[in-house]
C-alpha cells in the first residue's frame, strides 16, 4: 500500500514538472515570436537607411557642384576638361560613351541571349538543359576586370586586324565584351519566362497544326514577353553601370563623338578616374564626381522602374 502511494506521488511530481517545463517553453517561444519581427524589421530598416544615406550623400554633394557649374551647361556641354584653370564640365561626352557602349552591348546580348533562351526552353532536352544552363551562367561569375583585360588584349587586336582605323582604346571592343558578359542574364531570365508558359498552350497550338517554330514565335514568346522585355531592360541597366571593362579597354579620352572606333569615356570610367586621382576635397573636380554619379543613379533607377512597369503591364497569369 505504501509503494502505491509513493508511486502516485512520483507521478504527480513528474506531471507537475512537465507542466512547469511546458510553461517555460511556451514563455520562451512567446518571447522569440515577439522578438523575431523586431529583428527582421531592423534588418530591413538597415537596407532602407543605407539607400537613403547614399541618396542624401549624392544629392548634397551634387547641389554643391551645381552651385559652381550651371545646370544647363553641365547637361548640354560638349566639352569635358576637368583639369586646369579654365575647367569645363559638360557631361555629354560621358553620356555619349555610356549610351554607345550600352547600345553595342545590347546588340550583342539581345539576339544571342534570346536565341539561347529559346533553344534551352523549347528545343533542348532536359538532360542537355541541365548541363548547358550552368555552363552558360559561369560567364556571369567571371570578374569584370578579367573581361576588361580580355577586351583590351584579345578583342581589340582582333578587331584592329579587321578595322584598320580602330584605335588601341575604343568603345567598340568593350561594348562587344559587355554584351558577352550580359548574355547569361538575358538568356537565363528569358528562359525562365518561357519555361513558365503552360505546356497546354503549346499542345493546343500543335493540335491546330502549328509547327514547332510557329509555336515558339507565335505562342511561347508572346506569352513570355513581359519577362523577356524585363530581361532586356535589366541587361541595359547592367551595361550602363559597368565599370572595369570600359575603364580598361575604352580609354580616358573625353571625346564627344559617335565614332565607335575612337577612344571614349563612360560615366563609370570617369568616376574611377576621379577617385583614383588627386581631386582635393571641396574642389569642383571633386564635386563633379558626385554629379556624374547622381546622373548614373538616375539612369539606372529609370531603367529599373521601366522593367518593373513592363513586368506588371504585360504579365500573363496562368
Could you list the pLDDT tens digit for every one of the 318 residues in the chain? 455 554 554 455 566 666 666 666 666 667 777 788 888 888 888 888 888 888 888 888 888 888 888 888 888 888 888 777 777 888 888 889 899 999 999 999 999 999 999 998 888 888 888 888 888 878 778 888 899 889 989 999 999 888 888 888 889 999 999 999 999 989 988 888 888 888 888 888 888 888 888 888 888 888 888 888 888 888 888 888 888 888 888 887 888 888 888 888 888 888 888 877 666 777 788 888 888 888 888 888 887 787 777 777 766 655
Query: Is 279 found in the same domain as 137?
Result: yes
- The predicted model scores a pTM of 0.80
Query: Nine-digit cell at 258?
Result: 559617335
Q: How far apart are CA 65 and CA 71, in angstroms?
A: 9
Residue 236 lies in a domain: yes
Contacts of 290 (CB under 8 A, 6+ apart): 57, 58, 61, 62, 64, 65
Closest of 287, 294, 216, 292 to residue 254, by C-alpha: 292
Domain boundary among 68, 101, 123: 68
Residue 197 lies in a domain: yes
Query: Is 225 found in the same domain as 189?
Result: yes
Can you say whether residue 282 is alpha, beta or left, with left for phi > 0 and alpha for psi between -120 and 50 degrees? left
Residues 138 and 187 sit within 8 Å (Cβ to Cβ): no
Query: Is 86 found in the same domain as 47?
Result: no
Query: Is 41 found in the same domain as 85?
Result: no
The per-residue pLDDT for 6 is: 45
Q: How far apart are CA 59 and CA 74, in angstroms?
A: 16
Residue 309 lies in a domain: yes
Q: How far apart are CA 139 and CA 184, in angstroms?
A: 7
Query: Is 280 found in the same domain as 187?
Result: yes
* Total length of the chain: 318
Contacts of 225 (CB under 8 A, 6+ apart): 314
Boundaries of domain holding 190: 80-313
Domain boundary among 68, 96, 119: 68
Residue 74 lies in a domain: no
Q: How far apart are CA 310 and CA 231, in angstroms?
A: 10
Query: Is 98 found in the same domain as 56?
Result: no
Please report where in the chains the cell 570617369 appears, as a residue: 270
Query: Is 226 found in the same domain as 89?
Result: yes
Q: How far apart are CA 220 and CA 255, in angstroms?
A: 44
Query: Is 54 found in the same domain as 142?
Result: no
Query: Is 140 found in the same domain as 37?
Result: no
Residue 260 lies in a domain: yes
Domain boundary among 32, 48, 68: 68
Query: Is 137 found in the same domain as 24?
Result: no
Query: Is 107 found in the same domain as 38?
Result: no
Q: How many domains does the chain have?
A: 2
Please report where in the chains the cell 530591413 appears, as a residue: 44
Q: What is the CATH number of the domain that holds 193?
A: 1.10.3720.10
Query: Is 13 found in the same domain as 104?
Result: no
H/E stretch holding 81 reads: strand 80-81
SS3 category, 89: strand
Residue 318 lies in a domain: no
DSSP code at position 88 = E
- If one counts every other C-beta atom within 10 angstroms of the C-beta of residue 271, the result is 19
The per-residue pLDDT for 107 is: 93
Residue 64 lies in a domain: yes
Residue 73 lies in a domain: no
Amino acid at each position: 500500500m505504501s509503494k502505491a502511494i509513493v508511486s502516485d506521488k512520483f507521478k504527480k511530481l513528474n506531471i507537475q514538472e512537465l507542466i512547469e517545463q511546458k510553461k517555460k517553453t511556451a514563455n520562451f517561444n512567446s518571447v522569440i515570436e515577439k522578438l523575431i519581427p523586431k529583428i527582421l524589421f531592423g534588418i530591413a530598416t538597415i537596407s532602407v537607411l543605407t539607400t537613403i544615406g547614399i541618396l542624401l550623400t549624392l544629392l548634397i554633394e551634387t547641389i554643391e557642384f551645381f552651385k559652381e557649374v550651371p545646370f544647363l551647361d553641365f547637361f548640354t556641354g560638349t566639352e569635358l576638361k576637368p583639369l586646369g584653370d579654365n575647367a569645363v564640365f559638360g557631361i555629354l561626352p560621358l553620356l555619349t560613351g555610356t549610351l554607345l557602349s550600352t547600345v553595342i552591348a545590347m546588340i550583342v546580348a539581345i539576339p544571342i541571349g534570346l536565341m539561347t533562351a529559346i533553344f534551352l526552353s523549347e528545343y533542348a532536352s532536359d538532360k542537355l538543359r541541365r548541363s548547358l544552363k550552368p555552363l552558360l551562367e559561369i560567364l556571369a561569375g567571371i570578374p569584370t576586370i578579367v573581361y576588361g583585360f580580355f577586351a583590351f588584349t584579345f578583342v581589340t587586336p582582333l578587331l584592329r586586324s579587321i578595322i584598320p582605323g580602330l584605335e588601341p582604346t575604343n568603345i567598340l571592343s568593350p561594348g562587344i565584351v559587355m554584351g558577352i558578359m550580359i548574355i547569361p542574364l538575358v538568356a537565363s531570365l528569358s528562359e525562365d519566362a518561357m519555361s513558365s508558359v503552360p505546356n497546354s498552350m503549346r499542345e493546343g497550338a500543335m493540335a491546330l497544326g502549328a509547327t514547332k517554330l510557329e509555336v515558339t514565335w507565335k505562342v511561347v514568346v508572346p506569352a513570355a514577353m513581359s519577362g523577356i522585355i524585363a530581361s532586356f531592360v535589366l541587361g541595359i541597366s547592367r551595361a550602363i553601370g559597368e565599370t572595369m571593362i570600359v575603364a580598361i579597354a575604352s580609354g580616358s579620352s573625353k571625346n564627344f563623338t559617335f565614332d565607335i572606333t575612337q577612344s571614349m569615356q563612360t560615366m563609370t570610367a570617369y568616376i574611377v578616374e576621379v577617385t583614383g586621382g588627386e581631386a582635393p576635397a571641396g574642389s569642383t573636380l571633386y564635386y563633379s564626381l558626385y554629379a556624374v554619379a547622381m546622373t548614373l543613379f538616375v539612369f539606372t533607377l529609370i531603367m529599373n522602374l521601366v522593367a518593373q512597369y513592363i513586368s506588371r503591364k504585360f504579365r500573363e497569369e496562368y
